[in-house]
A = this chain, B = another copy of it.
């Protein structure tokens, strides 16, 4: 499906810098594709010639580590995905999988490069976002490694609440096993810790639906391990 970028409500910060004609170029060289929950959007090791713009939904970025699959981060719209692949060696260096029903734009790489070249504001926004990603990734890694597991779980819950769902009540988009490989712990530990949080009156759970009752406690746990 083709859509008109000039009136798209899902537009990126970078694309917002594009002038009408460049935006038209973008319009003419992309297709919108829908993915269902669980669908693989890009797969590590495969060849790719598109930049992907996440316009709607929620995805996980994961890589196959030396032993197991590891979720690197969750990404929500609006954001470009798979930039490193496209600009680098064209082989996907990580996988991206939909956690909810998701819509993305596949943008032709040649077009994307042309835009970078012809529009310096666009390029600068892309550079800005890549820089942000790098810092985020340093920070995330340091946190994961230094904090104890409880702290990491608390942080993930807060992060979902604040940055992804903007609400104290939401449905966790991951299984406990997935949470485990996001915060580098075992499935069993996640289960135990969630029970503990619930017992302590910090959260309330019904299946995957979670409500944060005592945000302050959760923040303290997140900070102090």
Contacts and interface: CB of A to CB of B under 8 A. Distances in A.
Interface of A: 61, 63, 65-68, 70, 72, 83-84, 87-88, 93-94, 113, 116-118, 120, 123-124, 126-128, 130-135, 137-147, 151, 184, 223, 225
A123 B115 CA distance: 12
Nearest to A151: B66
A65 B131 contact: no
Given A116-B124, A120-B123, 17 more contacts: A63-B138, A65-B142, A65-B146, A66-B143, A66-B147, A66-B223, A68-B146, A70-B142, A70-B145, A70-B146, A72-B142, A84-B131, A84-B135, A87-B127, A93-B139, A120-B120, A127-B127
Contacts of A70: 142, 145-146
What 5 A-B pairs are tightest by C-beta distance, nearest first? Answer: A84-B131, A65-B142, A117-B120, A130-B130, A141-B141
